[in-house]
Structure 1
Amino acid sequence: MSVLVKICGLTTEAGLDAALACGADMVGFVFFDKSPRHVSLELAATLNRRTAKRACKVLLTVDAGDATLAAAIAALDPGLLQLHGSETPERVASIRARFGLPVMKAMAIWRAEDLSDVPRFDAVADYLLFDAKPLRPMGQPGGNGEIFDWSLLELIETKKPWLLAGGLNAANVADALAQTHAQGVDVSSGVESAPGEKDRRKIAAFVSAVRRADAMFGRATQSC
């Protein structure tokens, strides 16, 4: 299968339609009220119906409690849960068992030391996602448009598939794939005209760039 493309932080029907029309494999919806990409339960239900089975719906939360997760799952009916906070491996395993859904654990990377917990999360998650650690201490956990040193990923060995995030856009995603051999890529701010406002042309350019790169070096992946 080809490199997975995830368009994250979708907040409107128009943005979702653009991602689906361009062939995104995964579409991400953020349930974190501090994010400019946060969606309400009501909007999630609307976007759920509009997505139907055309892509894997990903529910992104940040250190959410079980009640919040249950309400968001009921609204969105996701195929995958993305945990983008400081969740421990034990918490990842607990959420996976409680809700019976596959889980993707995001890890914030800036230095080699940030990869030390990869084996622990690899043992309990279905996917891993490597994102840039926020430069500001109180910054958003993702969607900041920041890039980390991709060469750090040469040090990792995982049993589970993983996606690359952090500052990706149509201009650099081919280089990112060539350097990291990631099985998937996750973009949010790189396809926006403003925080939370997805740009149809940027989405199309990003997906096209991934597919062109994939034609040169395909990757074996799995979808949810």
Structure 2
Amino acid sequence: MAEVHVKICGLSTEATLDAALDAGADLVGFVHFPKSPRHVSLEKGRGLAGRARGRAQRVVLLVDPDDVLLAAVAETLDPDWIQLHGKESPQRVAEIRARTRRPVLKAVGVAAAADLVALPDYAEVADRLLLDAKPPPGADLPGGNGRSFDWDILRGVVLPAGTMLSGGLDAENVGTALSRTGLAAVDVSSGVEIRPGEKDPARITAFVAAARRRA
């Protein structure tokens, strides 16, 4: 059984970051997207990223970033990964990867089997894919909405190694999600929160433990 990799996304305080690190999260994510309740400024992100250096892979989530923002993020936070959670095309993903000289995690919204058609094109240019539930119509956020998609549509689909599952996960259902999808990497944000943007250290600890003891 493959070791499960766990990413805790949307961390915005030292206390919750420490909880994720102490629990053994493999990746910690910082959101730089003003519309998000999990948004952190570049200066705040610098401090958090520095605190996590050497203890976990540090991921900065961006949504359709321009080149100016990319340069600022790379210089200020010096992230290990760039996560793209917007409508970036495969060509743009490749450009960002080359420009930042950082590995790229590309999120792809999934609601139905037809959404999986785009995966091969993204797999060619991204270092890792993240399958997230498509946001509801009119939503302000491209992710972190606490929704899941039908995991069974992944049955029989060959996915790139390291593909991550996201969307509606929590400590109660993550084991089932891993078993049903056959994936070995998960990403959580709202599922470890008391309210949008407010992480709960106890829920973070419980999620990591649940993911690691999957059935």
Q: TM-score, normalised by structure 1?
A: 0.93
Displacement of 1:177 after TM fit?
A: 0.4
Paired residue type of 1:173: V
Contact conserved, 1:48 with 1:75, CA < 8 A, in 2? Answer: no
Residue 155 of structure 1, CA deviation: 4.6
1:59 pairs with 2:60:
yes
Partner of residue 219, structure 1: none
In structure 2, the partner of 1:29 is 30
Give the letter aligned to residue 10 of structure 2: G
Consecutive unaligned residues in structure 1, runs of 5 or more:
217-224
Code of the residue aligned with 1:12 in structure 2: it is T
**CA–CA distance in 2 between the matches of 1:138 and 1:159?**
29
Paired amino acid for 2:16: G
Partner of 2:142: 141
Work out whether 1:87 is the aligned partner of 2:84. Answer: no
Q: Tell me which stretches of 4 or more aligned residues in structure 1 moved more than 6 Å.
A: none
**1:1-224 paired onto structure 2 within 5 Å:** 2-213=3-214, 216=215
Moved more, 68-77 or 113-122: 68-77
CA deviation map 1:67-126 (0-9, x unaligned): 111111222111111100000000001111111111011000001111111110011111
Q: For 1:109-157, what per-residue CA distance to the aligned partner results, in whole angstroms no more than 9, with x for missing partners?
A: 0011111111100111110000000113233101100010001112532
Query: Residue type matched to 1:162 in 2?
Result: T
Counterpart CA distance in 1 for 2:32 and 2:182 is: 29
For residues 82 and 66 of structure 1, what CA distance do their matches in structure 2 show? 15
* Contact map agreement 2:35 2:140 (CA 8 A) in 1: no
Q: Deviations over 1:18-42 (max 9, x none)?
A: 0000000000000111100010011
In structure 2, how many angstroms separate the alpha carbons of the residues matched to 1:15 and 1:74? 24
* Structure-2 separation of matches of 1:159 and 1:44: 30
What is the alpha-carbon distance in structure 2 between the residues aligned to residue 97 and residue 42 of structure 1? 24
Q: RMSD of the TM alignment (CA)? A: 1.1
Contact kept in structure 1, 2:9 and 2:28, CA below 8 Å: yes
TM-score, reference length from structure 2: 0.96
Deviations 1:163-220 (A, max 9, x none): 000000000000000000112000000000111111011001101101111xx5xxxx
- Check conservation: 1:126, 1:160, Cα contact below 8 A: no
Q: Provide the C-alpha distance between the structure 1 equivalents of 2:10 and 2:91, rounded to a whole number of angstroms.
A: 26
Letter in 2 for 1:17: D
Could you list the runs of 5+ residues in structure 2 that have no partner in the other structure? none
Q: Could you tell me how far apart the structure 1 residues matched to 2:111 and 2:156 are?
A: 13
Aligned length in residues: 214
Q: Equivalents in 2 of 1:161, 1:212: separation in Å?
A: 18
**Conserved 8 A contact 1:26-1:58:** yes
The DSSP-based 3-state class of the residue aligned with 1:2 is: coil
